[in-house]
Chains A and B, each alone.
Chain A
Amino acid sequence: MTAALSIENLKKTYANGFQALKGVSLSVQKGDFYALLGPNGAGKSTTIGIISSLITKSSGRVRIFDYDIDQDFNSAKRLLGLVPQEFNFNVFEPVEEILVNQAGYFGIDRPTAFARAEQFLRQLGLWEKRRDQARELSGGMKRRLMIARALVHNPKLLILDEPTAGVDIEIRRSMWTYLRQLNAAGTTIILTTHYLEEAESLCRHIGIIDEGELIEDTGMKQLLSQLDMETFVLDLRHPLHALPDLGSGHVRLIDESTLEADICRDNSINFLFEALSRHNIEVLSMRNKTNRLEQLFVHMLENNGSGTGA
């Protein structure tokens, strides 16, 4: 299968001597939804900057759908849509004009550009704002504007660098739905995010960068299967003043209406409910204490010596 993105031994050393990338190699297959994770300063944005020509690489090779960026960057650029982390549009330009101009830079004639602008502004709920200057939009609208702009030339590979940062949960979830639809329609998507729930929910493959090196590159299911223990929080219907002997040392009373239980991944959870039922302890609800991916992510970074959270 053709790789949508292929990176080999990518290195970047900035003028001040800081080595941001120390030889990253990864491959994202066509049609994939790929999460590129890592703590702040790990090298995610540098990698994306090099792919999209905003940063000059020191060495290594990058191919976008088999187009080498050193040999045919223009063909590669046509296939790539970028939603950067920072707002980078002219805030004094009307929303529609931003999209039409961007289409123009890709050689798309104005009638087609206006039609595409309408299509994407409607899909992303910005059509009513098309005549407003971009500075008048809310934070969530500005994020959606950047997605619309990145799509106006119909790229096959879409890279989103923290697209939902600072966006409220309702808009975030609507953006997830939209990105799933895009991916289902055939667009390969690479996503960086600090919301690990987002990565777990959307992505099928995952790469973790830390200190300029790729420390993990695998399927989401394979990664989550490495988790050998999960902690569940149980909310109780009636107050419990002391924890009876449940036959397991992995259950703790947090307060009079909350229990925490550590469950090995290979063990059934039924034994816990049977024990609780024997003591007439009624459970109202149950949830994971931490996001599973977050648990693994922190563990991996600790093993790599970073020890920072997402």
Chain B
Amino acid sequence: MTFAEQYIAFKAIVIKEVLRFLRIWVQTIVPPIITMSLYFVIFGNLIGSQIGAMDGYRYMDYIVPGLIMMSVITNSYANVVSSFYGCKFHRHIEEMLVSPLPYYLIILGFMFGGIARGMAVGLAVTLVSMFFTDLPLHNLAIIVTTVIFTSALFSLAGLINAVYAKSFDDISIVPTFILTPLTYLGGVFYSIHMLPELWQQVSRLNPILYMVNTFRYGFLGISDINVGLAYAIIFAFIAALYAYALYLLKTGYGVRK
């Protein structure tokens, strides 16, 4: 395919993916807004008012960036894992396999679909958070790039999960048993400096900690970790997951007999 044809094909996948989650917006956009509103009310307002300041900020202000990032992570992952597995299950992945689409373009198309959902949900949750607090804005570029790269990373992870999945149960195992615990332990609700030294070091093995803190840095200008290191880790994960997804599709694992 020429470059122009590849661009058209890429656009076709992204449009299809965006229309897919917009068509079912009650299932894709509304639930995270409701869930995060509850977090804002219960943890931010009710419990947060008893906790006091965290790193010099009201507890509500401290947790809002983490909660936005939590919704970005879960939704970008959920978008690709459910869409790609749906394609496999209903066999319309074959529409792409019989076409001259290169595998890398299939990956990028689904990844950008996941980024679009992550950004749409992130924006919606951010708008809702404005009813509860006036978030400061330290660095817009860091906020935007962290959302894009984080949702890219989890979109790729969702795609790999979908390639391996053999039933609908398989696409909920990773979010339930891995993603949610890592997110909760990734500094959304607390600073790792509150932990004993050993658990601080253990927490540093959690990649989500770097994304949450970088995103929080974009709003508040504070972080438990080095922001440059966080970007390096995010890029390393994206590169590794992309390479692995490409390897899986090239070998036909899970999609071709």
Contacts and interface: CB of A to CB of B under 8 A. Distances in A.
Contact of B16 (A91, A101, A109): A101
Given A53-B256, A56-B256, A107-B8, A88 B100 contact: no
Contact of B257 (A14, A80, A88): A14
Contacts of B1: 74, 107
A38 B133 CA distance: 70
A97 interface: yes
Nearest to B91: A88
A80 B98 contact: yes
Interface in A59-111: 73-75, 77-78, 80, 82, 84, 86, 88-93, 97, 100-110
Contacts of A49: 257
A92 B23 CA distance: 9
A1 interface: no
A105 B23 contact: no
A45 to B, nearest CB: 10
A53 B98 contact: yes
Contacts of B87: 90
Nearest to B93: A88
B197 to A, nearest CB: 50
B176 interface: no
A109 B8 CA distance: 6
A88 B92 contact: yes
B202 interface: no
A269 interface: no
A55 B94 CA distance: 11
Interface string B163-193: 0000000000000000000000000000000
Interface in B1-27: 1-2, 4-6, 8-9, 11-13, 15-16, 19, 23
A109 B2 CA distance: 13
A193 interface: no
B16 A54 contact: no
A55 B97 CA distance: 10
B252 interface: yes
A56 B9 contact: no
A52 interface: yes
Nearest to A72: B100
A127 B1 CA distance: 30
B95 interface: yes
A154 to B, nearest CB: 13
B101 A88 contact: no
Contacts of B15: 101, 104
Contacts of A56: 252, 256-257
Nearest to B94: A88
Interface in B214-257: 252, 256-257
Given A56-B257, A86-B91, A88-B92, A105 B252 contact: no
Nearest to A89: B92
Contacts of A54: 94, 97-98, 256-257
B96 interface: yes
Contacts of B94: 54, 84, 88
B256 A102 contact: no
B90 A88 contact: yes
Residue with the highest number of chain A CB atoms closer than 10 Å, among B8, B86, B252: B8
A110 B97 CA distance: 20
B95 A101 contact: yes
B50 interface: no
Contacts of A108: 8
Given A77-B99, A97-B19, 6 more contacts: A49-B257, A53-B97, A56-B252, A56-B257, A104-B11, A105-B100
14 contacts: A14-B257, A49-B257, A52-B97, A52-B98, A53-B97, A55-B257, A74-B100, A74-B102, A89-B95, A100-B12, A102-B99, A104-B11, A107-B2, A107-B9
